[in-house]
Amino acid sequence: MYYFILALLPVLSIFLQSTIFHYFSIKGSIPDLVLIFVVFHAVFRGERRGTLYGVFCGLLEDLYMGRFIGVNVLAKGLTGYIMGKAQGNVFKENLWVGIITVVAGTFINSLVVAVLLMANGTVLDLEVVYSVLYQCLYNLLLAGPIYIWYYYYIYDGLMRAAGEN
């Protein structure tokens, strides 16, 4: 059940991001729900699982887009690793953990994607910075409620890993 929900979350996120969220975009920017779930998984499960989950989610996203397959694999994988490594001994009951990690994760993910796209010949300008800032704001708004839900389900609900109480 746990792994099924883990796999379902990015699928649902991509579906929401490609349909409903565009009607609620901020200056053309939509949130990155996939990234939020990768970051939270890394925070709760550590850097190795965070990296693997980031790679899996990034691959799903890249297969949907069909162009530059591998960019999101590396970006979300690296974000999962860094967030997992940085979570250390923080108190996960604290909501600020969720918010700060999502903001940091948004910047890391966007930076890696931008570098890889430029390495592949795409020309980027300052508009990208504004787009990332608006996305960061949107992710920040969603991070709080999703973190509360995620924390509850990790310890008490459907996403409780097998063998844990």
Partner 1 sequence: MFKLLKSKWFWLILVVVIGAFITMNQTSLPREDITLLEKAVHGIYTPLQNGINDIRGHWGYIGDLVSDKRTLQNRINELEKRNIQMAIDNQALREYEAQAKRLQELLEFKEDNLDIYDLQAAAIIARSPNNWNKTVLINVGANAGIQRGMPVIHPDGLVGRISSVSQNSAQVSLITDREMAVGVILQRSRETNGIVEGTGSSDVLRMNNIPYYSSIEENDRVITSGLSANYPKGIVVGTVSKVNREPSGLLLSAEVKPAVDFDRLEEVLVITNYHPPPVEDEETGE
Interface contacts to partner 1, rule CB under 8 A: 11, 13-15, 17-20, 22, 28-30, 32, 34, 48, 51, 55, 60-74, 77, 113, 116-117, 120-125, 127-128, 131-132, 135
Q: Cβ of residue 61: shortest distance to partner 1, in angstroms?
A: 7
25 token code pair: 């975009």
Q: Cβ of residue 91: shortest distance to partner 1, in angstroms?
A: 27
Nearer CB in complex with partner 1: 126/162: 126
CB 95 within 8 A of CB 150: no
Nearer CB in complex with partner 1: 62/108: 62
Q: Cβ of residue 127: shortest distance to partner 1, in angstroms?
A: 6
Q: Cβ of residue 100: shortest distance to partner 1, in angstroms?
A: 21
Nearer CB in complex with partner 1: 101/135: 135
Tokens 């929900």 locate to 5
Nearer CB in complex with partner 1: 64/153: 64
100 token code pair: 């700060």
Tokens 């009607």 locate to 23
Burial tier of 20 (Cβ tally within 10 Å: 0-12, 13-18, 19+): exposed
Q: Round to whole Å and give the CA distance between 105 and 83.
A: 7
Q: Round to whole Å and give the CA distance between 70 and 68.
A: 6
